[in-house]
A and B are shown apart, each in its own frame.
Chain A
């Protein structure tokens, strides 16, 4: 079946602009994760959604970052007033609860 998809695959923006990153999880997966991977760094947890429960937002680095998940499926990660340090690869993963996470190809964000 189809895997996790993310769009856009690449995004170049100017400092101060807002960006939206989209994740389409695997059908039937109720858990959805967002991570950030900066150059040469490991993955940094950002936010976790599970069904209709309140999301775990403990990894969001600042209030410029927010995410929502509509209808328990598609998720959007929004970064407001982007800064150069936001440049990274943003990865989305989905899973059945507490099972193996399946990752999308990521969105490469470059803030100029």
Chain B
């Protein structure tokens, strides 16, 4: 059974700091891994999607890496801004299926 864990559960940093959010999964037979952002009271917004054959994806100040063999992914946020404050969710889609398993998220607060 696939389990997805995100560490830390919450993080508070000063504006401008670079930071790393961690995601680990127990079953390496995945189709893809996706990072989402969720603002309070809102739905989810997709940030980056990494296919199982890829090692990383980049979008602006965001970089996500994937190491299937060790069951880990990291989301790197450069030069953090107060507008980055949100909950960041990691989601894994299993190979050969459609079910997507989400982590509990990391709540990020960037102080101005």
Binding site for B on A (CB under 8 A): 4, 31, 33, 35, 41-45, 48, 50, 56, 58-59, 91, 93, 98-106
B49–A100 CB distance below 8 A? yes
Stretch at the interface among B11-19, B37-45, B65-73, B76-84: B37-45
Binding site for A on B (CB under 8 A): 4, 31-32, 34, 36, 42-46, 49, 89, 91, 93, 97-105
Closest CB-CB distance, A98 to chain B, in whole Å? 7
Across the A-B interface, the 9 shortest Cβ-Cβ residue pairs: A103-B43, A43-B102, A42-B104, A103-B44, A42-B102, A48-B98, A105-B43, A100-B46, A100-B49
B103–A42 CB distance below 8 A? yes
B99–A100 CB distance below 8 A? no
Q: Which residues of B contact A4 (CB under 8 A)?
A: 43
B99–A59 CB distance below 8 A? yes
CA–CA, A7 and B30, complex, Å: 32
Q: Which residues of B contact A102 (CB under 8 A)?
A: 46
Q: Which residues of B contact A104 (CB under 8 A)?
A: 43
Total A-B contacts with CB atoms under 8 angstroms apart = 54
A42 CB contact (under 8 Å) in B42, B43, B89:
B89
B100–A45 CB distance below 8 A? yes
A105–B103 CB distance below 8 A? no
25 residue pairs of the A-B complex, CB under 8 angstroms, read A33-B98, A35-B102, A41-B104, A42-B4, A42-B89, A42-B102, A42-B103, A42-B104, A43-B89, A43-B91, A43-B102, A45-B99, A48-B99, A50-B98, A56-B99, A91-B43, A98-B32, A98-B93, A101-B46, A101-B100, A102-B46, A103-B36, A103-B45, A104-B43, A106-B42
